[in-house]
Amino acid sequence: MSLDGILHALIHRAFGTVTAALLAIAAALSVVCCTRQPEPARHTVAEYRSNPDLRREQFARCANDPGALGKTPDCTNAREAQRLEDMRSVRDLPPVQLPPPPSRPNSDRPNSDRK
């Protein structure tokens, strides 16, 4: 093979690699640039916490269609507000008055002495 043929093959290979790299970069940029940005939430967690009717309505919509709405910002905010309100409602309950445990025979011996 002549020197001219070798140079031609090297140049062709180099430009082929550059072209492939440029096409890959262009494809990656088009995917990144054309990705849809998520919609911002219409209501914050604080708004959902302060308005129980709004929270229940949004929570019901999200529960009814979790495939399409489950990861939307409003469903996330409504779910978090519901979780926080549920925790608060449990904290507001009066203490549970449990009866004392029944006494058992040999209950005065510590557990470490039992075999």
pLDDT in tens, 58-70: 999 999 998 888 8
Residue 77 pLDDT level (bands cut at 50, 70, 90): very high
Domain match, 45 and 79 both: yes
User: Is residue 41 located within the same domain as residue 88?
Assistant: yes
The model's pTM: 0.50
Closest CA to 87 of 37, 30, 49, 59: 49
In a domain, 74, yes or no: yes
Q: Do 87 and 42 fall within a single domain?
A: yes
Work out the average pLDDT over 63-78.
91
- Quick one: pLDDT at residue 2? 73
Are both 60 and 31 inside the same structural domain? no
Buried b (16+ CB within 10 A) or exposed e, 45-72: beebbeeeebbeebbeebeeeeeeeeeb
Cβ neighbourhood burial of 34 (10 Å; 0-12, 13-18, 19+) = exposed
Q: Please check whether residue 110 lies inside any domain of the structure.
A: no
Whether residue 24 is found in the same domain as residue 70: no
Q: Give residue 31's domain range.
A: 1-35
Cα–Cα distances in angstroms (integers) from residue 14 to residues 10, 26, 27, 28, in the given order: 6, 18, 20, 21
Q: Does residue 61 share a domain with residue 17?
A: no
The DSSP code for 111 is G
**29 & 48 share domain:** no
Residue 82 lies in a domain: yes
8-59 pLDDT tens trace: 666 666 666 666 566 567 767 776 666 667 778 899 999 999 999 999 999 9
Report the domain count for the chain: 2
Question: Do residues 55 and 21 share a domain?
Answer: no
The predicted structure's pLDDT at residue 45: 94
For residue 102, tell me if it sits in a domain. Answer: no
DSSP-based three-state secondary structure for 101: coil
Q: Which residue has the higher pLDDT, 70 or 114?
A: 70
